[in-house]
């Protein structure tokens, strides 16, 4: 009997397998170089990915170790960094007659940096670059185990406010009734502010509206004020001795106009400690004594709570926070009814846009 390795069809299979492996390998290298080239076209930023893995059987490829950094200003941290980004066809949508994609990002870190060389946002055509990297409409987007940092290296002390364990899922981004009963996209976000609190956000939006159209609800709780001391000292010249923070905010927007509120509540807040505040800096100690005294007086004493509600309304071209109402609400919290820092049941309503302004 002829040995199996001497049979012609065996060698044909070996040749085909070898060709497939080589083509797959070089195709992955080509895709990696293509991704690096496209990301590097963004003016003011440089980007790099280490490798790309193709998964042709599920219509997907994975980007390994992507890093996007601002070029100017010597910002010491990247704007975006992730060990893994998975771009794939959303197979579930195919059963509904829609050919769309999804993006899953794992353990990403984003850094918004304030100061002389800010890195506080991306005003570049990133959406167009995503289309070039994965030329199908993205219907689902998720982040798993991410971190978001607000940093300011120009302050003393340096500021680093973090939300970790970020989990986000955005669905129906294609705005399609084939995939959803509504034309709204839905975004849900959870995370841990300062690595121990809890924040949850829900956003419904129209991704294709010509002017911002959305409704959002955000609730934050369980934040230890002492962990905010670098931020408080850098921007307000105070340090917290004790207390917790709770914040609720709701906002609705359509036709370029918005209305909503932010309701911060400080429970058992302590600011001034004469034993060390005067020793460290007498002038700053006086300031902290004044702030601590005022917040001690103007608070709801039965609940030991200082809080207010900040109304937000206007247009995105000319936002107008209501300062007087905010101050009035401080006294309302103290002497009428304490705010709770939780979402209201009635929600908010958006005024119609003035047609004369648009």
Note whether 305 and 333 are within 8 A (CB): yes
Position 357 scores a pLDDT of 37
* pLDDT tens-place string over residues 219-246: 999 999 999 999 999 998 889 999 999 9
d(CA 288, CA 284): 6
For residues 296-315, one letter each, b for 16 or more C-beta atoms within 10 angstroms of the residue's C-beta and e for the rest, the string is: eeebbeeeebbbbbbbbbeb
* Residue, of 180 and 280, whose pLDDT is higher: 280
- For residues 2-23, average pLDDT: 54
Neighbours of 198 (CB within 10 A): 15
- For residues 292-300, average pLDDT: 83
- For residue 56, give the DSSP letter: G
Strands 138-152 and 109-114: parallel
* Residue, of 268 and 284, whose pLDDT is higher: 268
Q: Is 271 exposed, middle or buried (0-12, 13-18, 19+ CB in 10 A)?
A: buried
**pLDDT-based confidence at 74, cuts 50/70/90?**
confident
């Amino acid at each position: 009997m002829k040995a199996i390795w001497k049979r012609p069809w065996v060698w044909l299979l070996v040749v085909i397998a070898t060709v497939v492996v080589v083509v797959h390998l070089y195709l992955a290298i080509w895709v990696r170089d293509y991704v690096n080239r496209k990301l590097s076209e963004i003016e003011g930023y440089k980007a790099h990915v280490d490798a790309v893995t193709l998964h042709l059987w599920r219509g997907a490829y994975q980007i390994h170790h992507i890093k996007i950094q601002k070029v100017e200003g010597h910002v010491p941290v990247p704007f975006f960094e992730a060990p893994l980004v998975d771009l794939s066809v959303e197979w579930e949508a195919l059963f509904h007659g829609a050919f769309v994609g999804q993006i899953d990002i794992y353990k990403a870190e984003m850094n918004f940096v304030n100061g002389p060389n800010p890195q506080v946002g991306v005003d570049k055509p990133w959406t167009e670059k995503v289309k070039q990297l994965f030329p199908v409409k993205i219907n689902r987007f998720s982040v798993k185990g991410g971190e978001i940092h607000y940093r300011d290296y120009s302050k003393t002390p340096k500021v680093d406010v973090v939300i970790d364990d970020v989990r986000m899922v955005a669905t129906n981004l294609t705005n399609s009734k084939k995939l959803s009963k509504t034309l709204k996209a839905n975004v849900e976000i959870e995370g841990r502010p300062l690595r121990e609190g809890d924040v949850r956000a829900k956003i419904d939006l129209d991704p294709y509206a010509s002017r911002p159209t959305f409704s959002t609800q955000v609730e934050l709780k369980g934040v230890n004020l002492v962990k905010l001391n670098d931020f408080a000292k850098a921007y307000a010249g105070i340090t917290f001795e004790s207390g917790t923070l709770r914040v609720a905010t709701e906002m609705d927007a359509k036709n370029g106009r918005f209305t909503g509120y932010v309701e911060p509540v400080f429970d058992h807040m302590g600011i001034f400690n004469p034993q060390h505040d005067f020793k460290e800096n007498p002038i700053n100690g006086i300031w902290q004594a004044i702030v601590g005294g005022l917040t001690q007086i103007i608070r709801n004493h039965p609940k030991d709570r200082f809080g207010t509600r900040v109304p937000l309304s206007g247009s995105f071209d000319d936002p107008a926070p209501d300062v007087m109402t905010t101050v009035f609400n401080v006294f309302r919290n103290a002497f009428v009814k304490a705010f709770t820092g939780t979402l209201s049941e009635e929600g908010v309503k958006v005024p119609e846009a003035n047609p004369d302004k648009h």
